[in-house]
Structure 1
Amino acid sequence: MRIGAHYLGNGTCEFVVWAPFLKSVAVKLISPDERLLPMKKDEKGYWKACVEDVYPGACYFYQLGEKTDRPDPASYFQPAGVHQYSQVVEFDSFKWKDSKWKGIELSQLIIYELHVGTFTPQGTFDAILPRLNSLKELGVNAIELMPVAQFPGERNWGYDGAYLFAVQNLYGGPEGLMRLVNECHKHGISVILDVVYNHLGPEGNYLAEYGPYFTDKYHTPWGKAINFDDAYSDEVRSFFLQNALFWFENYHIDALRLDAIHGIYDMGAKHILEELKEKTAELSVQKKKTYYLIAESNLNDTKITRIKETGGYGIDSQWCDDLHHSLHTLLTGEITGYYCDFGETKHLVKSLGEGFAYSGEYSPFRKRRHGNSSKNCPPSQFVVFSQNHDQIGNRMLGERLSTLVSFEALKLAAGVILLSPYIPLLFMGEEYGEEAPFLYFVSHSDVPLIEAVRRGRKHEFHDFQWQGEPPDPQDSETFLTSKLNWGKKRQGHHKVLLDFYKHLIHLRKTIPAFANQDKNKLSVYGLEDEKVVFLQRGEGVDNSFTVFNFSDSEVSVKLPLQENHWKKLVDSSDEMWDGPGSLLTEKTGQFNQITLRKHSFITFIKE
């Protein structure tokens, strides 16, 4: 049953909502005129009413049990926030101009993650549009939007969404998102949307008043677990499956990033993620365009991306935290919290070569073995990054890498991510070394909830042994401090770093050795004492060799490049990149031994 308020044209709207235990449900229209219209219930618990003289823009509640007015749980727009009326939306009236757009193949993605509210001073979808040319010039071909489902108040990361079908009103609502996607496709940029299917936000979430959407069988750190496998779960599953397809069909979204799927609990014979992949694949065939699913997971489990025939869910790709943690600990020396599992070059070597650094080994942080082998997974099944919203925003002070390490180390981090065989993701502002923090911020109206959020944030930082008081998530200044300072990208080191990112992305796109997705043509090894990692990609004439130095001092190493002539492609310590100057002397094109500056890398290709 298709849920929500569907405008059928000619002033007719069909309202459908699932509420299996209620004795009565009615549509309560409040504008442009007031009417109360009873709904009829079917055998599965769906209430339905087909109402005339209702047009797009009409506002309504559902009246539950003849006394309680609540917004539509499948509302397409909440113009006055999470506690107020829902609004009828007509999707067919938007003039799309992307009929020839077929998306970008998964392995070719270069993703740019952004938060709509802090990406620009205005914090809207429309304010992003003038920035698309800059993103195109940078070389990224996909933007990933942090969740835009309606959340409470004026500011939020988006993971407290209470209406999963409704586009955040302060960002520009449904038309604002459609305009953004339309323009992105015009610029050759795919759009990935972050969606949350493991919980709903605590404020404005009235789902439990409609039916058994939640279960006490499982618990999540963020709220009640969704009922994907208990009694009445068929219709709950349908709600979330419809939501995923809704973004593809109505907003032309190219891929969904599934938040924290380790918080999605389903012990049924067919996991909800497997079913979601099936529905997505069916839609891809129907629309003759491939839609992708990318999971965030801390399970280190290849079952997520393995195809159905081998017992997997078939999700197209997943975030790889292990590579981030391996890289971060080598650059910063931090070994508290979950970073205690990392800190040696062997972790980065394994992650660069396979994906997961932990594939069944004992994890000191978890006090148990963790993960399974990803050696046979193609590189397109992993998204890698040196920074993202979680790894920055879940620090007590929200520090970006640019405030934790040197300029040379920032270039080193960029080299690892952009020259790796995996799908790279940049976090907004990373490309020019933005120094503003990205902090956790909310705008709740319930005082006990505000205090609970404050306590919860402090508790999260316990394992990391950070000292002091975290910024108040409820304070508007915490949000304003997190906005990007775009003017910096034209200044000093910031401009050089931006040019460096552009150069690496250009090389990734144009050098055949970097386009090779075959792990059999990938070799990674390291020198633990010297803190050096070697990465070789490709074969024959299409061959590259990169040396990464994570040491705090200069290092001399022997290279296995005697047989053929090689050409230096990049040296991050070159003066042209505001470095201290390269120590590499090129005589015959045959490199036996080289010396690298501290926190630098050199890439060679065959001549």
Structure 2
Amino acid sequence: MEVGASYLGNGSCRFTVWAPRADSVEVHLPGSPERLVPLKAGELGYWEDVVTGVSPGSRYFFRLNGEHDRPDPASRYQPEGVHGPSEIIDQSAFPWSDHNWGGIPLEDFVIYELHVGTFTPEGTFAAVIPHLPELHEMGVTAIEIMPVAQFPGERNWGYDGAYPFAVQTSYGGPSGFKALVDACHREGLSLILDVVYNHLGPEGNYLREFAPYFTDRYRTPWGEAINFDGPGSDEVRAYFIENALAWFRDYHVDALRLDAVHAIFDFSARNFLQELAERTGEYSQEAGRPHLLIAESDLDDVRLIRTAEQGGYGLHAQWHDDFHHALHTLLTEDREAYYQDFGSTADLCKAFREGFVYDWRYSPYRQRRHGSSSREQPARQFVVCSQNHDQIGNRMQGERLITVAGFAAAKTAAAAVLLSPYIPLLFMGEEYGEEAPFLFFVSFPDPDLAEAVRSGRREEFRAFSWKGEPPDPQDPETFRRSRLKREQRHHGRNRTMFDFYRQLLRLRKELPALRHPDKENLEAGTQAGTSVLWLSRWKGVDRVIALFNLGGEKVSLNFPAASGSWKKLLDSAEELWQGPGSLLPQHLTGSEAVVLPPLSCALYRLEPKHDKVQ
């Protein structure tokens, strides 16, 4: 059932709300003249009726039991914030230009994650649009937007959304978001939206007054858990499934990134995620193009991405945190909290070859065995990165990898991600070595809640030995410090990094051995007692070998290839990339001894026998 206010045209609108906890529900139209229109009680606690004399732009509340005015739980627009009235919008009014858009296959994704509020000085959907051509030309094929569901105030990461269907007012609202999606499709880019189905934000959240949306049987780190398997859960599941379909149907979104699915607690025989995947598949068939679901999870559980026939939930892909952690610990001194589970080149080698590092292996951090083997899952089902909003923003000072580990390490990390057999994700600004932090920020009008967030942040960092106080999330300056300085990409070292990313993305696109995610045509290995790792990939006769020195000392090794003529295509140590100077020859034959400078990477390609000069 399509919940909320559905404008039917000709001044009429159907209002539908699930409110089994109410004895009466009225639509309160506070305009001039003010009106109260009772809704009719239906089955399963739904209230519904068609109201005339309204139009797009009309604002309304649901009045419960003749006493309390509350915004619509399925509001599409909250122009006055989370406590104000909802607004009727006409979903059919936007002039879409993407009628011939067929989407981009998952295996062709190169994802660019961005936060709308800090990507530009304006902090709006409209301000993102002029940057799309440059991102596409660089090699990006999909933009991933951090959550846009209406949150309190104007500054937030987006994970405190209180209205899952409503688009954040300060970003540009529903029409602004549609314009961004339309512009992405015009540019040949897919749009991935980050959605949160494990909790709702604490301020402006009135859902519990309507129905049993929440449960006290479980608890998330961020508040009440959603009721996916208790009494009344059928309609809760329907609400969130309708939300997913609304993003696909009304906003033409191509894929959803499902936040922290390990905090979606559902022990029913048919898991919510499985039902969501089935309904998404059905909708994709109806729409004639694929719509994708990408999970974030810390469980290392292949059931998320296995098909229903294999006993899984049928999601299309998931974030591969083990890859990030294995890479990060080799390039930094971080060994606390979950990082204590990583730190060897063998871990990263396994992440390249198989996927999950933890496959029912003992985890010192968890003090138990953890994970499942992903060896048999295709590479296109894993999204990898060297940094993302969580891994940066959940540091006390929000430092990016380039700040923590330096310029050379950041280049090496970029190569590890973009030469990997997986779907790469870049976090906004890393492509030119942005050094502005990405800090945690909020703008809660409720002072008690703001103080609770400050205390919570301090508590979070007790697992780490970082010194000092975290920046105040409520302070507008914390938000301003997190804004990108994109103009830097044209100058100095930032320009060098920008060109390095462009070259990596060009090689990934042009070389058959690198073009598609593929774990089958791959070998990886390490050199005992060193920080060196090598990666060999091939497609048909096209073969490449990537060499990585992830430590601070130069290392000698035998080139890990059989005889043949190998040409160097990229070397991060070259002066071209502001390196210290290469120690590697331009051409190699067989297993010659070579020397890798510290914190460097290089890529060689086997030359065809008929054309040794290509």
TM-score range, shorter chain: over 0.9
Distance 2:516 2:263 in 1: 34
Distance 1:594 1:516 in 2: 29
Partner residue, 1:571 = 571
After superposing the two structures, state which structure 1 stretch, 559-568 or 342-351, moved more: 559-568
Shift of 1:458: 0.7
Distance 2:600 2:361 in 1: 30
Partner residue, 2:603 = 603
Shift of 1:587: 5.5
Partner residue, 1:193 = 193
Change (3 A) 1:594 1:28: same
**Conserved? CA contact 1:160–1:202, under 8 Å:** yes
After superposing the two structures, state which structure 1 stretch, 439-448 or 28-37, moved more: 28-37
1:493 correspondence with 2:482: no
Partner residue, 2:60 = 60
Shift of 1:520: 2.4
**Conserved? CA contact 2:513–2:543, under 8 Å:** yes
Partner residue, 1:23 = 23
Partner residue, 2:437 = 437
Shift of 1:585: 2.4
**Could you say what secondary structure the match of 1:179 adopts?**
helix
Shift of 1:523: 0.7
**Could you say what secondary structure the match of 1:44 adopts?**
helix
Shift of 1:528: 4.1
**Conserved? CA contact 1:281–1:291, under 8 Å:** yes
Partner residue, 1:175 = 175
Partner residue, 2:139 = 139
Distance 1:517 1:126 in 2: 33
Partner residue, 1:46 = 46
Shift of 1:540: 4.9
Distance 2:167 2:32 in 1: 22
Change (3 A) 1:93 1:602: same
Change (3 A) 1:45 1:398: same
The within-5 A match list for 1:317-396 is 317-396=317-396
Distance 2:507 2:570 in 1: 10
Distance 2:69 2:305 in 1: 42
Show CA shifts across 1:93-141 (max 9, x none).
Answer: 1110001111110011000000000000000000011111221122101
Partner residue, 1:111 = 111
Show CA shifts across 1:218-243 (max 9, x none).
Answer: 11010100001100111111000000
Distance 2:516 2:215 in 1: 45
Shift of 1:561: 2.3
Show CA shifts across 1:469-503 (max 9, x none).
Answer: 00000101000110001121111110000000011
**Conserved? CA contact 1:79–1:169, under 8 Å:** yes
Change (3 A) 1:82 1:299: same
Partner residue, 2:610 = none
Distance 1:157 1:587 in 2: 48
Partner residue, 1:184 = 184
**Could you say what secondary structure the match of 1:177 adopts?**
helix
After superposing the two structures, state which structure 1 stretch, 387-396 or 130-139, moved more: 130-139
Shift of 1:325: 0.5
TM-score (norm 1): 0.99
Shift of 1:588: 5.9
**Conserved? CA contact 1:567–1:589, under 8 Å:** no
> Which amino acid in the other structure matches residue 392 of structure 2?
I
Distance 2:528 2:149 in 1: 46
Give ranges in structure 1 of 5+ residues lacking alignment: none
Partner residue, 1:86 = 86
Partner residue, 1:543 = 543
**Conserved? CA contact 2:380–2:518, under 8 Å:** no
Change (3 A) 1:478 1:94: same
Shift of 1:160: 0.2
The within-5 A match list for 1:144-223 is 144-223=144-223
Show CA shifts across 1:346-377 (max 9, x none).
Answer: 11011111111111111000010010100111
Distance 1:587 1:525 in 2: 21
Shift of 1:590: 4.1
**Could you say what secondary structure the match of 2:454 adopts?**
helix
Change (3 A) 1:527 1:589: closer
**Conserved? CA contact 2:512–2:539, under 8 Å:** no
Change (3 A) 1:44 1:146: same
After superposing the two structures, state which structure 1 stretch, 277-286 or 508-517, moved more: 508-517
Change (3 A) 1:453 1:562: same
Distance 2:500 2:465 in 1: 35
> Which amino acid in the other structure matches residue 547 of structure 1?
L
**Conserved? CA contact 2:563–2:591, under 8 Å:** no
Distance 1:420 1:463 in 2: 31
> Which amino acid in the other structure matches residue 11 of structure 1?
G
Distance 2:495 2:2 in 1: 50
Shift of 1:586: 4.0
The within-5 A match list for 1:468-547 is 468-547=468-547
Show CA shifts across 1:64-83 (max 9, x none).
Answer: 11010000000000001000
Shift of 1:579: 1.1
Show CA shifts across 1:407-436 (max 9, x none).
Answer: 111110000000000000000000001000
Distance 2:156 2:520 in 1: 44
Change (3 A) 1:544 1:79: same
Partner residue, 1:413 = 413
**Conserved? CA contact 1:32–1:58, under 8 Å:** no
Show CA shifts across 1:272-318 (max 9, x none).
Answer: 00000000000110011000000000000000000000110010000
**Aligned alpha-carbon RMSD (Å):** 1.0
Shift of 1:31: 2.6
Partner residue, 2:305 = 305
Show CA shifts across 1:153-211 (max 9, x none).
Answer: 11000000000000000000000000000011000010000000000000000000001
Change (3 A) 1:493 1:21: same
Shift of 1:40: 0.5
Shift of 1:405: 1.4
Partner residue, 1:280 = 280
Distance 1:258 1:27 in 2: 32
**Conserved? CA contact 1:362–1:370, under 8 Å:** yes
**Could you say what secondary structure the match of 1:434 adopts?**
coil
Partner residue, 2:559 = 559
Distance 1:324 1:518 in 2: 18
**Conserved? CA contact 2:114–2:143, under 8 Å:** yes
Show CA shifts across 1:556-600 (max 9, x none).
Answer: 100232422111111111111111111112466445111111000
Change (3 A) 1:577 1:332: same
Distance 1:403 1:198 in 2: 32
Partner residue, 1:315 = 315
> Which amino acid in the other structure matches residue 498 of structure 1?
F
Partner residue, 2:612 = none
**Conserved? CA contact 1:566–1:591, under 8 Å:** no
Give ranges in structure 2 of 5+ residues lacking alignment: 608-614
Distance 2:233 2:257 in 1: 23
> Which amino acid in the other structure matches residue 67 of structure 1?
E
Distance 2:274 2:89 in 1: 30
Change (3 A) 1:552 1:588: closer
Distance 1:442 1:548 in 2: 39
How many correspondences in the alignment? 607
Change (3 A) 1:503 1:460: same
> Which amino acid in the other structure matches residue 105 of structure 1?
P
After superposing on structure 2, the runs of 4+ consecutive aligned residues of structure 1 that deviate more than 3 Å are 586-591
After superposing the two structures, state which structure 1 stretch, 540-549 or 409-418, moved more: 540-549
Shift of 1:552: 0.6
> Which amino acid in the other structure matches residue 221 of structure 1?
P
Change (3 A) 1:586 1:189: closer
**Conserved? CA contact 1:516–1:537, under 8 Å:** no
Partner residue, 1:450 = 450
**Conserved? CA contact 1:254–1:291, under 8 Å:** yes
